[in-house]
Structure 1
């Protein structure tokens, strides 16, 4: 239970590698993955966690090994949070920027496609905010994946 089959530094290295690769994969997958999980997105996240679990531990089932990996993941998360809070450039790279999806009642279909947002998702956002397309001044896809709609004055 307490005997590690790998040196402590390998747990740190494995945790850091898996964290950074998974961060890049989530970032590349788009804003919707982060902000608006569909059942399929949730399934992918669950399967990803299972897929990388052995990569994190290297087959080691010891308590210290698991705690070292967990501490590494938490430390990396804290470092990234610190970096994004101090640098807008790092924030833009890791979290992205907002994207204009439409203006003055006109939706930019090419931008919707590029951001992998369906017209149905957009319609749902309009419905939730009780705004019609004619009343819309602009529609913004936020960096966290939420859709905000500003009404005309």
Structure 2
């Protein structure tokens, strides 16, 4: 029993190299699949993620089913991911190469020709994202872009944006100013006694 739990059945270096190779392969595949693959996961995307983990499992573990071997693989994945994340945070060029750049899908209330098709993004998904971000439809949008992480960022036209506390306070100040003016005007028009 202890042998099955603690004895790594393939060389540790091979275990680490297998894990890194599979990590890089998955990273490349997701990069080639594009940003759309990282946007909101639908049922089909979830199926792919679940099956993908099962498909690459043997490539990572090889003939090793030991607890220690699994721990080495998991630790390698976490370490490689942490290293790449830190590298991307420091190197904008590497981030642009590995993650990509934002893609504008709406400009001045109109869809950017071909952008939805290139991203495999359905108009209904775009409309949903606009509604989630307080817009009613595409014509309310000044600009929308799909970020490399799959998030859709929407900037509404100024007339369509919700009022902020600052906007409300500014209106209160203007109303108070108008009230003072009206009071002053009314006082000036009163007949002398």
Structure 1 counterpart of 2:122: 118
Match of 1:21 in 2: 25
Aligned length: 153
From 130, 144, 150, the counterpart of 1:145: 150
Structure 1 residue runs of 4 or more that deviate by more than 3 Å after TM superposition: none
CA distance in 1, matches of 2:99, 2:35: 9
- 2:61, 2:69 within 8 Å by CA — same for their partners in 1? yes
RCO higher in structure (CA 8 A, sep ≥6): 1
From 50, 58, 65, the equivalent of 1:61 is 65
- Extract unaligned runs of 5+ from structure 1: none
Cα-to-partner distance string for 1:11-61 (whole Å, 9 max, x where unaligned): 011001101001111111111222310011011000000001011010211
- Superposed CA RMSD in Å reads 1.2
Normalising by structure 2, what TM-score?
Answer: 0.75
Between the aligned partners of 1:134 and 1:108, the Cα distance in structure 2 is 12
**Deviation of 1:3 (Å):** 2.0
> 2:186 maps to which residue?
none
Verify the 8 A CA contact 2:106 2:145 in the aligned structure 1: yes
